[in-house]
């Protein structure tokens, strides 16, 4: 058997994992979720959710990946054959998310190009531009282009593809965010935007809606419960500090989400008639309107939507890798052939979602409201109740070379705290 590939460096591993986490969840979803749930109140609860629930579950997935050195399906099958279906859940989720995620990613690519060439700002009516684009032949073209771009990166392999691209893209993404934050700080509504983002209304912080939304956002933005972190951690070098890596990835994700808020909310409050509660349309209909009120709108709009496209790319790579890795290891398929089959299946699914919008909404609802919460919940249950305690501790402590004083607290969180909180999220999503 050929030696399993691995990341070339620890920083590379962190950037790849962070890239999976930092996607549309941080750039697109976090700002409008914050706007809908009271600004600063949501930010506090979100940070709490990342620390109390997100990091423990991520640690558990890292431990499963480093212990087994296998794809999610084979990993769970090795640890407990009765739980291999949890690995299949990750495969199904990655496939279904790909069906609609690539479409939104294609939108960001189109908006980058139409911003750069001035087409977007020659129209004037941004809602009309969005409606015209999503109903045209250009939409599937941009979607397929994004799929093929992802394919090209995955097929290059672990170090030459996943790691190298993450080392290039992630610093660029962070630099662009900082540039946009500095620019937003000069806008007339900056103070009001910062107040909305950072001044919490504690009456909203303790509402069940805010708590549930924050926990759900933590899981969505961290890409946990999807098998991505198991797939990536199976490539970690021996001796990787899992605790430090999980904290680095989680806090980097939180930092990016906060920076996104610092870009968007000052801009929103700088334009009369706009509200921070604009919802999912904030990105593609509201943001161009905001940029139109600024000097050099084409420049800032192009930078922003390139940022969104890069963030989306780091996540589509992880979805593609989960599926490619599954085919490669479970069906003994060469990596290049596995990647090609994944790409073909993804293209067909995206075209299905484009042809019939019902599938777009159905895949979104099934993954976000059912499969992802269930995956996160059962991952916590597995780690807390099924995963051999000695083996689990060995991964966290690097076989005793690192201190693991908080390991009992980690196990308690995975056994009780995370399952209870995630059960609340799941039930709430089903009812409301």
Tell me the per-residue pLDDT of 305-332, one tens digit each, with 9 for 90 and over: 998 899 899 999 999 999 999 999 999 9
Q: Over the chain, what is the mean pLDDT?
A: 90
What's the confidence (pLDDT) of residue 8? 83
pLDDT tens by residue, the chain, 432 residues: 456 778 888 899 899 998 888 887 788 788 888 888 888 989 999 999 999 999 999 999 999 999 999 999 999 999 999 999 999 999 999 999 999 999 999 999 999 999 999 999 887 778 788 888 988 999 999 999 999 999 999 999 888 899 999 999 999 999 989 999 998 898 888 999 999 999 888 777 778 888 888 888 888 888 888 889 999 999 999 889 999 999 999 999 999 999 999 988 888 888 777 777 665 666 787 788 778 877 888 999 999 899 889 989 999 999 999 999 999 999 999 999 999 999 999 999 999 999 998 998 899 888 877 888 889 899 999 999 999 999 999 999 998 888 888 999 999 999 999 999 999 888 887 787
What's the confidence (pLDDT) of residue 3? 65
What's the confidence (pLDDT) of residue 279? 59
What's the confidence (pLDDT) of residue 280? 60
pLDDT single digits (tens) 98-129 = 999 999 999 999 999 999 999 998 877 787 88
What's the confidence (pLDDT) of residue 1? 44
What's the confidence (pLDDT) of residue 68? 96
Any idea which residue has 């797939």 for tokens?
Answer: 231
Any idea which residue has 């904290």 for tokens?
Answer: 247
Tell me which residue of 95, 30, 43 sits closest to 283, measured CA to CA. Answer: 30
């Amino acid at each position: 058997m050929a030696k399993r590939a691995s990341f070339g460096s620890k920083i590379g591993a962190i950037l790849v994992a962070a890239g999976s986490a930092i996607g549309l969840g941080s750039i697109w979803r976090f700002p409008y979720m914050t706007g809908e749930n009271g600004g600063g109140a949501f930010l506090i609860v979100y940070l709490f959710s990342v620390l109390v629930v997100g990091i423990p579950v991520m640690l558990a997935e890292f431990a499963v990946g480093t212990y087994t050195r296998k794809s999610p399906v084979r990993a769970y099958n090795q640890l407990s054959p009765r739980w291999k279906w949890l690995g299949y859940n990750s495969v199904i989720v990655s496939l279904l998310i790909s069906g609609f995620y690539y479409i939104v990613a294609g939108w960001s690519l189109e908006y980058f190009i139409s911003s750069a060439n001035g087409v977007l700002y020659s129209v004037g009516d941004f809602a009309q531009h969005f409606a015209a684009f999503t109903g045209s032949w250009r939409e599937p073209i941009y979607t397929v282009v994004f799929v093929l771009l992802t394919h090209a990166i995955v097929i290059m392999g672990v170090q030459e593809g996943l790691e190298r691209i993450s080392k290039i893209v992630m610093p660029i993404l962070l630099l662009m965010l900082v540039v946009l934050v500095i620019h937003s700080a000069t806008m007339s509504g900056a103070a009001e935007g910062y107040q909305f983002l950072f001044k919490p209304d504690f009456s909203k912080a303790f509402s069940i809606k805010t708590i549930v939304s924050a926990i759900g956002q933590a899981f969505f933005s961290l890409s946990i419960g999807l098998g991505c972190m198991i797939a990536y951690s199976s490539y970690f070098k021996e001796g990787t500090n899992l605790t430090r890596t999980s904290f680095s990835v989680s806090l980097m994700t939180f930092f990016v989400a906060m920076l996104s808020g610092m870009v968007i909310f000052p801009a929103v409050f700088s334009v009369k008639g706009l509200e921070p509660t604009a919802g999912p349309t904030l990105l593609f209909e509201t943001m161009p309107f905001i940029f139109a009120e600024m000097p050099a709108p084409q420049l800032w709009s192009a930078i922003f939507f390139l940022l969104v496209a890069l963030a989306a790319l780091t996540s589509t790579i992880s979805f593609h890798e989960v599926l490619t890795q599954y085919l490669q290891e479970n069906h003994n398929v060469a990596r290049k052939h596995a990647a090609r089959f994944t790409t073909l299946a993804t293209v067909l699914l995206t075209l299905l979602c484009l042809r019939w919008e019902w599938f777009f909404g159905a895949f979104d609802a099934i993954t976000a409201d059912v499969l992802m919460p269930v995956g996160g919940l059962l991952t916590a249950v597995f780690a807390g109740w099924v995963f051999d305690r000695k083996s689990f501790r060995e991964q966290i402590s690097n076989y005793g070379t690192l201190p693991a004083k908080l390991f009992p607290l980690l196990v308690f969180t995975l056994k009780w705290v995370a399952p209870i909180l995630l059960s609340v999220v799941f039930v709430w999503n089903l009812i409301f």
